[in-house]
Structure formats: C-alpha cells, structure tokens
Amino acid sequence: MTQGEETHMDKDDFAEFSRLIVTQIRENEEHPLHRFCACGYYPDFFSMFETLYKRGYLNTHKRKKAFLNRLQLRGSYDEMKFCQGVSELLFLYYAVDRHLDFSADQKLLTDANTDVDLQIKEGDFRYNIEIKCPAFEMDHWNVLKIDPSFRALPDRESHLREMCKLESEIAQPAVEKSGGRFTHYEVKKIADEKLRDFLRSGQSKFPESDDRSINILAVSVPINNFENYWSFLFNQFSGLFVREQNGICPPAEYDKVDIVYLTSLVTGHLRPRDGYNSWDLSSCCNLLCRNPFSRKYRRQSYRGYEEATRILPNSTERFDAFYAEFKVYAEERQLPLQGLMFSAFLAEHFPHLWNQ
C-alpha cells in the first residue's frame, strides 16, 4: 500500500466512525483515552486518526474493525492487549504519515500459516517487521520488588541457589524491618525468556534475509523495563547478542532475526504527559540492536542496517556515543554500568519519558 496524497474523504462516514470512537471512549472508564481525555493525549489521538482516515488507510470495514480491536475500543478493555495493539498501530501510522510504501500482515513463508506485522518497501529493498509487547507486572506500593535484571551465573541451578540466599538473607529481613511499609516481597521473574520467545517467534515467521531484505523484531516495553531488555541482549554474562553459550537459547534458534528494534513507545500510553506526542514513534526512545549471530551478518551481508537507521526513528548513534563515554567514566571510578548508564542517558535525552 503506497501512501500518497490525501484521498477523497467521505465526510459522513468519517463523522459516523468518529462518533462511534467517542462513544466507546466515554463508556470505558478504564481506557487511557477516557482517563487522560483532558490532556494533549486525547487530541493527539484524533489527529492521528484523522491522518489515517484521510490517507485512505481506514477505507474498509476490515481495517476499521482492526483499528478498534488494536485500541481495545470494542467490548471490555484489556491493558496488555491495548499495549500490543497500540504498538502495532504506531508503526502503521508512522508508515502512513511518512508516505512509505508498505503492507500490513504480510505473509512471507509459503510453507507456514504465518505473517509479519509490517513490511516496508523502498525500491527493491524490504524491511520485514514483527512487533511484540511483553506482558509486564504492575507495581504495588506495599510490595518489596526484587529485580535480578539478568542472569549473571552460568547455569540455572547456580542462579536459583543464589536467589534463595538473597531472599532469606536480604529480602525477608528487609520486609520485617520496614515497619509495615512492606507486607511481603516478590521476586520478579527474569524476562529474558519472554525475549527468547519473541526471537523464536520471529524465527518462525521470517524468511532468511538477503541483500534485498532485512528482518527486524520490534520489542515495545515501558521505559522502566528498557534497561533490562537491553541487558538481556548485551550483558556480558548471558547476553543473547554477546554469548553463544548464554544458558537461555542457542543463536541458531534466532539467527533469522537481524535486528531487535527496542522501543519505549508504550510508556506514553501508560503515563501520558503534555508536551510530547505519545502517538508519534519519533518521540520515543528507540534503539536498533544488531544480532551478530544472524545468518545475514555471518555471510558479511550488511546492506539494510544503515538503511534501517535512516528509515526508522532511533537514537542508536547518540546512545552508542554516550555508552562509550560513560563506560570509561564508570571504569575509572569502579562503578557498575547496570543501573546507572540508562538512568543517566534517559534523564539527559528523554526527560519527558524518564522523569515521571
């Protein structure tokens, strides 16, 4: 679907569909568009909606239905389905708004009943994009959360043994000494297995890329989970893009995924703020993470990565420069990167997302 100039708009149909959306928002008090209707979040949404309609993307009943489903505006509201749906929608909107040539729900494998969420076409080149949003836990003020972030031990048994020690010697005493501030503790599950499953899912949907294509797995996470997901890929102990023997998943099970596009886009829909547009992918923190174990790169076929940094909004170059400088700073002062680097980077470059 090539998105050119605005198409002829059926004003009656547009008005009717708009009324339906407004009615659904009003009737669902849990929906972000209801809860944040007094903020810029609400008019920004309708600006996006109008652009999609005028450019002809919502010109069929099937697409209108998919639009409502993605936004959880049909029936009861489910937050995680909304986060997954809005993640998909923002990539579609980005393609429409930038007049890109694209196809949604594109079937790429003839021998499997699967498709990828989005394929962007640029000349003879194809960007195949699968979009995932992990389920995440909501924090409760009276629960002490223990977050191990990533696996720092070589095997599961060693990890479990050390976690039991942490719980008995640190977590439980902290609860008992909190004076009622915490009622109990919970150990967060390391979400690297979620990322592993996303990589495997991409593996099952992507064909092997060549000199005219690249496979991109987009992972949409809240900003407070951003560092953890980056660490699942790049920590020195068990990083999926660092160690072949990572204790989680052999690279052969995700070697058709060339890039993970890590994005914070759901943040603006969980906690919208005036002053930035939650419906614009360009307002998010986005990093392109290259998989060194992909078949494409092992063949030394590099076409597509630099092009992806141009066609998809990202802060990869800025982050790489910040990382190199901060690593020297931390090593000189014997400080850990984990827990400090992303806090500093996000506070400096994305305060509208981080300082909430």
Q: Degrees (nearest 5) of the Cα angle 116, 295, 240?
A: 80
d(CA 105, CA 94): 16
d(CA 76, CA 260): 32
pLDDT > 90? residue 15? yes
The residue among 100, 117, 10, 23 whose CA lies nearest residue 60 is 10
Q: Which of 11-15, 20-24, 188-192, 271-275 has the lowest mean pLDDT?
A: 188-192
pLDDT category of residue 206 using cuts at 50, 70 and 90 = very high
d(CA 309, CA 304): 9
Mean pLDDT of 268-289: 94
The residue among 239, 259, 241, 134 whose CA lies nearest residue 189 is 134
Using only C-alpha atoms, the chain has a radius of gyration, in whole angstroms, of 22
What is the reported pLDDT for 141?
A: 47
pLDDT > 70? residue 330? yes
Instruction: Walk across the sheet containing 125-132 and list its strands.
Output: 101-106, 116-122, 125-132, 213-220, 259-263, 286-290
d(CA 345, CA 333): 18
d(CA 344, CA 35): 30
The pTM for the full model equals 0.86
Beta bridge partners of 215: 128
Mean pLDDT of 124-149: 75
Query: What's the token pair of residue 43?
Result: 């008019």
pLDDT in tens, 68-92: 999 999 989 999 999 999 999 999 9
Element (H, E) at 25: helix 11-27
pLDDT > 50? residue 187? yes
What is the reported pLDDT for 238?
A: 87
Query: Which residues are CB-neighbours of 199 under 8 A, at least 6 positions away?
Result: 217, 240, 249, 253, 254, 257, 260
d(CA 7, CA 29): 34
d(CA 222, CA 272): 12
Higher pLDDT, 143 or 230: 230
CA distance readout (Å), 58 to 67, 93, 243: 8, 11, 44
Mean pLDDT of 339-356: 86
AA identity, residue 276: Y
Q: Which of 61-65, 100-104, 244-248, 256-260 has the lowest mean pLDDT?
A: 244-248
pLDDT > 60? residue 273? yes
What is the reported pLDDT for 82?
A: 97
What is the reported pLDDT for 355?
A: 72
How does DSSP classify residue 300?
A: T
Element (H, E) at 297: helix 295-298
**Average pLDDT of the residues of the chain:** 88
What is the reported pLDDT for 236?
A: 85
Q: Measure CA 157 to chain center.
A: 30
pLDDT in tens, 81-125: 999 999 999 999 999 999 999 999 999 998 888 999 999 999 999
d(CA 73, CA 54): 21
